[in-house]
Amino acid sequence: MKTIQSLLLATLLSIGSMATFAGPVNVNSANAEDIAESLNGVGNKKALAIIAYRSTHGEFTTIDSLIQVKGIGEKTVSKNKNLILLK
């Protein structure tokens, strides 16, 4: 029984170490990798679009202004509002 418990504990610990818990991200300063890792439904392509938009138009002044980025819609912004920082 101790062997099974030890094996189970080792498995749970290894799974936990593989999990990535992304925190809030500043879309005005973060790189594409950090944006993609932190926001749900935003992969590398959309993260690069966020950076390109901010490079052309300047910093985002509101979270909702992210919908101006091609590929980022209201649904994506809504489900990530608690993860998006502007400053």
Structural domains of the chain sorted by starting position, each given as residue range(s) with its CATH number in brackets: 24-85 (1.10.150.280)
- Tell how far CA 32 is from the center of its chain: 10
Cα separation of 62 and 7, whole Å? 49
Render each residue's pLDDT in the chain as its tens digit; 87 residues. 656 655 444 544 444 434 455 789 999 999 999 999 999 999 999 999 999 999 999 999 999 999 999 999 999 999 999 999 999
Q: Model-level pTM? A: 0.75
Instruction: Write down the pLDDT at residue 31.
Output: 98
Instruction: Write down the pLDDT at residue 22.
Output: 74
- Sorted by sequence, the CB contacts under 8 Å of residue 48 that are 6+ apart come out as 32
Cα separation of 11 and 21, whole Å? 18
Task: Count each helix (H run) and each strand (E run) in the chain, helices first.
Answer: 4, 2
